[in-house]
Chain A
């Protein structure tokens, strides 16, 4: 599923966030040096955007199978075995993502319970952890879909 631009639609949100990240840094630096007017809370905002950016990109990373792997032994692996191995790894990855979703969810619940906030402008932490947890769960299902595709030998989208 590619948009006109050739960018995976799943990657659209993090892509725009990355641009915003660059612009915010730029505005902060220019404001501080030329106008004596820094962007209040830029430290907190950028930290938060990073968390959203990384997890928002996770579904696209999984669907495009862009995780870093060592494929040195690929030439020695027959096709049938590669399919089984691929499915097994995707299942394991799904498990890890569900585990992350669970723990990040708990982290968010506790952050809410204990009023945990960012240091400068007191942004609450729970929504970010919650977002990461939700996306991790979605990504887990995409890994499951990848596993099914590996077993059935379906071509990638």
Chain B
């Protein structure tokens, strides 16, 4: 057990030395397997693991969902969404921040990725809030946190990753994420209200919009909702599988973008190129993670840790709380995608062995990883926002995400205490 934990620690150390995450796992995996078995086994597993990871029908969802999100990103949909949300809630105190959370929520519903949501909304929402004299910290916090809604409301790349790593039904995971996602939006709205209640100068009220204007702007919501209905509706209506839904969503997004003349062929080629770069980089992490998990298997770690826990006489809920604490700690130093691929293969058999529901644990893992997106010092959304808006100071963003971070902890507690919030919808649909 000590050897396996040391291997994990070495991976983290190498990653901090700026070695690409996937390569760090490959190097440590190679050395470790050579130690536990022999070099020939380590080398042979390298070839088969790599082929298995890249020649995968199931993993085709990753580039395709990223493509759908990036295409939507290029077209003007995010601005229209934001304008629409603004006409409804902009007149309240902190209304533009509320609008940011709401439009992030709707945008999430079609975009599989948190980063894309933050990158997009920072271009749309931040200038608007600054025009209306909002405090930078509330604006930044709402955007960075709103982006995390993307990974829970289906479709979600992280849920897909979890499903693939654990052989849990992706359709059920998608259904399970929906209500917790809505709960998340609700809690974020409360977080905005709390922030402006404490510091009213952060979010002065804007002008009120009439119903005619609201209805006119509501057209902006129709297309994203149409896309959501096509993708998610198609899955549950039995037209296609979750795996196939990514391809359908990508084609539909491209057709909608062209129909609205929102992108050109050269834009599309650009978006395709951008997407394959990100996807390929992600696949090298996946190769490394799967290979590293073979080290964990061959070292007998999962048996040892179960024995160790039995020796401790820990109750299942204590084990679960311990695991959640590890995630929150890891989330402070690690990229969430890497964290999931590294930890889920280790924790999943343990947690399900204790009798927790695999789908529910998936939702909990995703919520925790979302929290890590906005957890200082390394919240990936914080950095994406910062690289898109270099004039925002990191300290401002840290301050801004705090109320959202606190509300996330509340949400985590609620979802942990009431598994039905996650499991009711899938039980209805499957």
Contacts and interface: CB of A to CB of B under 8 A. Distances in A.
A50 B63 CA distance: 9
Contact of A107 (B48, B56, B254, B335): B48
A104 B335 contact: no
Contacts of B285: 68
Interface residues of B, number: 62
Contacts of B273: 5-8, 11-12, 15, 60
Contacts of A11: 273, 276-277
B239 interface: yes
B51 A50 contact: no
Interface string A83-122: 0011001001100100110011011000000000000000
B239 A29 contact: yes
Interface string B262-282: 000010111011111111111
A70 to B, nearest CB: 5
Interface string A106-145: 1100000000000000000100110010000000000000
B51 A53 contact: no
B198 interface: no
Contacts of B275: 15, 18
A21 B244 CA distance: 10
Interface string B46-74: 11101100111101100110010000000
Contacts, number: 197
**A interface residue count range (under 10 / 10 to 19 / 20 to 34 / 35 or more):** 35 or more
A156 interface: no
A24 B250 CA distance: 11
Interface in B363-388: 377-378
Nearest to A48: B55
Q: Is the interface of B mostly helix, strand, loop or mixed?
A: helix
A47 B18 contact: no
Given A71-B18, A72-B378, A92-B27, A57 B280 contact: yes
A64 B63 CA distance: 18
Given A22-B247, A57-B276, A68 B20 contact: yes
Interface of B: 15-23, 26-27, 30, 43-44, 46-48, 50-51, 54-57, 59-60, 63-64, 67, 239-240, 244, 246-248, 250-251, 254, 266, 268-270, 272-285, 333-335, 337-338, 377-378
13 contacts: A18-B67, A19-B272, A21-B247, A22-B254, A33-B239, A51-B55, A53-B63, A55-B280, A67-B20, A68-B285, A70-B18, A92-B19, A106-B47
Interface of A: 4-8, 11-12, 14-19, 21-26, 28-29, 33, 43, 46-51, 53-55, 57-58, 60-61, 64, 66-74, 85-86, 89, 92-93, 96, 99-100, 103-104, 106-107, 125, 128-129, 132
Given A50-B57, A70-B21, 9 more contacts: A6-B270, A24-B247, A29-B239, A61-B284, A70-B378, A71-B18, A72-B377, A96-B26, A96-B27
